[in-house]
């Protein structure tokens, strides 16, 4: 329940986190959003580049850290939902650093790339 106006939870989803900056996150929370899901494929630069064909992983990671540092972070249950074809994403350093910063993660969805044939 959103305390200030008595609304039920309001959710938003950000596919891949490129545009969900700290300022936008803060604006969503100020508007009453109480749950947010950021969708991401992989938690390392190589996998991100392979899936999205962009070198924007650093930007996504920076946005996620910015959200964790926001004074509004505690007011909006934010979860990263990620898909991967590698266990390395789960055990990689960025996953654990974001967890220590307070970010929640859904269970990863493991995809089969058929031995690298699907790119």
pLDDT tens readout for residues 35-71: 888 888 777 888 888 877 888 999 999 999 999 999 9
| pLDDT value for 2 | 47
Q: Render the burial of 22-57: b for 16+ CB within 10 Å, e for the rest.
A: beebbebbeeebbebbbebbbbbeebbeebbeeebb
Domain of residue 37, residue span: 11-110
Which CATH number belongs to the domain containing residue 39 in this structure? 3.40.50
What are the tens digits of pLDDT across the range 90-114?
Answer: 667 888 899 999 999 887 665 555 5
Interatomic CA distance for residues 2 and 113, integer angstroms: 41
The answer to whether residues 30 and 75 touch, using CB atoms and an 8 Å cutoff, is no
- Residue 4 domain-assigned? no
> Is residue 81 domain-resident?
yes
Answer whether residue 24 is part of any domain.
yes
Task: Tally the domains of the chain.
Answer: 1
**Distance in angstroms (rounded) separating the CA atoms of residues 23 and 3:** 22
The answer as to whether 78 is a domain residue is: yes
């Amino acid at each position: 329940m959103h305390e200030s106006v008595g609304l039920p939870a309001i959710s938003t989803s950000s596919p891949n986190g490129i545009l969900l900056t700290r300022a936008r996150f803060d604006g969503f929370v100020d508007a009453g959003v109480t749950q947010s899901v950021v969708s991401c494929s992989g938690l390392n630069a190589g996998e991100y580049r392979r899936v999205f064909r962009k070198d924007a992983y650093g930007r996504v990671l920076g946005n996620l850290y910015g959200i964790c540092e926001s004074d509004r972070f505690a007011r909006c249950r934010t979860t990263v939902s990620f898909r991967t074809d590698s266990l390395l994403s789960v055990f990689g350093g960025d996953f654990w650093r974001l967890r220590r910063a307070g970010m929640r993660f859904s269970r990863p969805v493991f995809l089969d790339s058929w031995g690298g044939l699907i790119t």
